[in-house]
Amino acid sequence: MPVSVPKTLVPYDDENNIPLRYHYQRTKKRRVHEDIFGELFNADSDNDYCEAYDSESKLYDHFDFVQEPYKARVDNDDDDDDASDSPYEVAQKIKKREEEGEEEGEKEGEDTWKGLLEVLNREGLIFIGQEITMKLANSVISLMVYLDQEDKHDQHTTMFINSPGGSILGGLAIYDTIDLVRGKEVQTIAVGIAASIASVVLIGGGLRVAFNTARVMIHQPRMKAFEDESTEIAREVGVLLDLRNSITEIYVRKTGRTYMSITRDLEVDKFLTAMQARAYGIVDAVAPKKSDDSILDLIFS
């Protein structure tokens, strides 16, 4: 004898898929004993094509976002208990796994990038591609000291510089460390721009190279450079003058120019092309084109 069914029905097709256009179905009184396919509900047998819900709101809560076949999701799921779960529970589990997969993918991408930099660092390649801060300076210094102690790198370390400058004390710390690890020469390469204190780091290298389109900017340290430092230090004019003198002497020693000439040039922002930087004495060479790779052999040998 046919039995009555709840008001709201979710129809399945013959492959147990949920058609999106049938998110809900209001059964009319004259068809209260039949599902959407016209199959009779019997008290003695189960109907696999229809799942009943008490209300339309409950149905919407369960199925409004379902976009994939329920049967396919159950078949592709690894959990044995999922086969007995409702479509809503299966969809919730799959949605959670998709979100976890996206998070894992982002994490794997970050790990891959960090892993790439670590591999390059172990090969003796250091990159300064941002504003120089005390934190960055400490990382670069520790890496240079580590590479200097490694037996694997018995020739030199190569440092790529693309920085607008930054902390004066941080940059000078990197410069001093380059002098410290002379057991393994640190070669510096200007890529993009080496400005302000980054130009001091560039000039400290053993072999100094600038790419063809690189730019170098030199100037005297200013009070603005102390924004990240102690306010008390910034107020000490004597400290600033001492730093100006130290940086001027570095340029004099590395370029061979007179103290007065360097002092005059550093009073304003002085931008130099790669060729001008070589003529000035800041770099030893300009990276050649592929037809002449003698300098590149020195860098990567």
Q: Where in the sequence numbering do the catalytic residues fall?
A: 196, 219
Which phi and psi (to 5°) does residue 54 adopt? -70, -30
Distance CA 114, CA 281 (A): 35
What tokens were used for 147? 């590479």
* Residues 6 or more apart in contact with residue 252 via CB below 8 angstroms: 258, 259, 262
Residue 87, judged by CB atoms within 10 A of its CB (0-12, 13-18, 19+), counts as buried
Query: If we measure between CA atoms, which residue out of 281, 284, 249 comes closest to residue 172?
Result: 249
What tokens were used for 269? 């922002």
The CA-based dihedral angle spanning residues 104, 105, 111, 112, taken in that order and rounded to the nearest 10 degrees: 150
Contacts 24+ apart (CB under 8 A), 77-80: none
Residue 40, judged by CB atoms within 10 A of its CB (0-12, 13-18, 19+), counts as exposed
78 contacts 97 by C-beta, under 8 angstroms: no
Distance CA 120, CA 60 (A): 53
